Amino acid sequence: MAALSINNVCKTYANGTDVLKGIDIAIEDGQFLILVGPSGCGKSTLLNMIAGLDDISSGDIEIGGKRVNDLSPKDRDIAMVFQSYALYPSMSVRKNISFGLEIRKMPQGEIDATVERVAQMLQMTHLLDRKPSQLSGGQRQRVAMGRALARNPSIFLFDEPLSNLDAKLRVEMRTEIKLMHQRLKSTIVYVTHDQIEAMTLGDRIAVMKDGIVQQFGSPQDIYDNPANLFVASFIGSPSMNFIPAQVVESAGVLGVKICDDQGCVILPLPHAQDKMKPWLGREVIFGIRPEQITDARTAYREGLPVMACHIDVIEPTGPDTLVFVSLNNTKVCCRTHPTEAKLPGHSMELVFDVSKAVLFDPTTEQRIA
């Protein structure tokens, strides 16, 4: 049974802005759904509508098979964690956690037990009598999570819960949220603009832009098979390289022509022959991820096309060194082994693993192959 299904949901605000334009998403019980996209694309609006904090203009939202369009937030069996944590400033941590339970008329003994259990789970028993103003950012975050956990809802909603934390804490909390999900097998809808959070946390990712779901799938699927140029550029860091290139034929195989200032090579794309045929002689956008252009030692596979390229800049990151070269007058990022990377100004042999390369239509920006 679908834990959450969103059917053709639209939202138009009173001032006429179309914020959501027909959203379709469904997830199973226990899945971790990520809504990811640039700021302003309507993620929070969608989450607020799932929560019932905002009205839907058209479409349906079902939770556990039940249509909830007309239910108020408190009747939807959801709990939410906000970016600003939204802890009640005048209440102690204990009260913050128990507030929702009291309103739901849970017996006092049960409330105390729940608060105790949640506090222990999140290791914040010692914080229970503090006020939110006496907590650090990370502790407030924990309390906000605890407040949601105490309610034991059928769906957890998170709106950018980590984006107010510093980088180190964010990574720690990310792991904790993932652990919590694995332990509790809860259904989660998680909004973020951070593609790394999206990739690391999600079972299912909906990539959004301008109020439209651009692609909905598993993280690996979205990474390997982006539906369009936007998804390809948004997911992955450093971003996929987009090289304008002509489709040409060589020895009966279609490929793309890649040049630098010293000469050209043709990269055959055997996996995409049929779809490339209509594009013979025309320009496409050739998409290839940085880790698919690398040094011979890292590539470890024979028979891949090789090209000697002039290095413009290198950026050592520790585990690998990013090498920047110019191909078809476009800056291209390649991920190489630190000991294999040459210095800027020198030439270096780069191996192209084209088996996962993709092609986009330059005008519609949709995927060709």
Partner 1 sequence: MAKHLTPGRIVLYAALLLMAIYYLLPLYVMLSTSVKTLDDIRGGNLIALPQSITLDAWSKAWSSACTGVECGGMKGFFWNSVKMAVPSVLISTLIGAVNGYVVSMWRFRGSDVLFTLLLVGCFIPFQVVLLPMARLLGELGIANTTSGLILVHVIYGLAFTTLFFRNFFVTIPDELVKAARIDGAGFWTIFLRILLPISGPIFMVCVIWQFTQIWNDFLFGVVFAAGESQPITVALNNLVNTSTGVKEYNVDMAAAIIAALPTLFVYMVAGRYFVRGLTAGAVKG
Ligand X SMILES: Nc1ncnc2c1ncn2[C@@H]1O[C@H](COP(=O)(O)OP(=O)(O)O)[C@@H](O)[C@H]1O
Query: Under the rule (CB under 5 A), what is the footprint of Mg ion?
Result: 44
What is the rounded CA–CA span in Å between residue 22 and residue 145?
30
Question: Does 107 sit near partner 1 (CB under 8 A)?
Answer: no
Contact call for residues 7 and 58 (beta carbons, < 8 A): no
Residue 332 interface partner, choices Mg ion, partner 1, ligand X, none, CB cut-off 5-8 Å depending on type: none
Choice between 202 and 255, CB closer to ligand X: 202
Question: Does 134 sit near partner 1 (CB under 8 A)?
Answer: no
Among 72, 339, 343, 345, binds partner 1 (CB under 8 A): 72
Question: Does 15 sit near ligand X (CB under 6 A)?
Answer: yes
- If residue 117 lies in a helix (H) or strand (E), which one and from where to where? helix 108-121
Phi, psi of 164 (to 5 degrees): -95, 5
Choice between 25 and 149, CB closer to ligand X: 25
Give me 278's structure tokens.
């209509």
Choice between 11 and 147, CB closer to partner 1: 147
What is the rounded CA–CA span in Å between residue 43 and residue 288?
28
Choice between 13 and 300, CB closer to ligand X: 13
Dihedral of the alpha carbons of 63, 64, 65, 69, in degrees to the nearest 10: -20
- How many residues make contact with ligand X (CB under 6 A)? 12
Question: Does 208 sit near partner 1 (CB under 8 A)?
Answer: no
3-class DSSP assignment, residue 357: coil
Choice between 87 and 245, CB closer to partner 1: 87
Question: Does 31 sit near ligand X (CB under 6 A)?
Answer: no
Question: Does 192 sit near ligand X (CB under 6 A)?
Answer: no
Q: With helix as H, strand as E and coil as C, how does 236-255 read?
A: CCCCCEEEEEEEEEECCEEE
Of 12-20, 83-91, 286-294, 337-345, the segment contacting ligand X by CB under 6 A is: 12-20
Choice between 104 and 117, CB closer to partner 1: 104
Q: In b/e form, how buried is each residue of 119-131, taking b as 16+ CB within 10 angstroms? A: bebbebeebbeee
Query: In terms of Cα–Cα distance, which of 21, 47, 19 is closest to 33?
Result: 47
Question: Does 38 sit near partner 1 (CB under 8 A)?
Answer: no
Residue 137 interface partner, choices Mg ion, partner 1, ligand X, none, CB cut-off 5-8 Å depending on type: partner 1
Contact call for residues 206 and 34 (beta carbons, < 8 A): yes
Among 19, 61, 143, 222, binds ligand X (CB under 6 A): 19
Of 37-45, 99-107, 222-230, 296-304, the segment contacting ligand X by CB under 6 A is: 37-45
Contact call for residues 139 and 127 (beta carbons, < 8 A): yes
Question: Does 84 sit near ligand X (CB under 6 A)?
Answer: no
Question: Does 43 sit near ligand X (CB under 6 A)?
Answer: yes
Q: Is the dihedral of CA 252, 253, 256, 261 positive or negative?
A: negative
CB of 322 to Mg ion, least distance (A): 31
CB of 83 to partner 1, least distance (A): 7
Cβ neighbours, 10 Å, residue 110: 10
Choice between 44 and 292, CB closer to Mg ion: 44
Choice between 37 and 226, CB closer to ligand X: 37
Choice between 167 and 251, CB closer to partner 1: 167
Give me 144's structure tokens.
């906000």
Question: Does 360 sit near partner 1 (CB under 8 A)?
Answer: no
293-294 β-sheet, strand order: 293-294, 347-352, 306-316, 321-327, 330-336
Q: What is the CA radius of gyration of the chain?
A: 25
Give me 116's structure tokens.
């105790």
Give me 101's structure tokens.
């339970």
Q: Site residues (CB under 6 A) for ligand X?
A: 13, 15, 17, 19, 37, 39-45
Q: Site residues (CB under 8 A) for partner 1?
A: 14, 48, 51, 53, 72-74, 78-80, 82-90, 99-100, 103-104, 132-133, 137, 140, 147, 151, 164
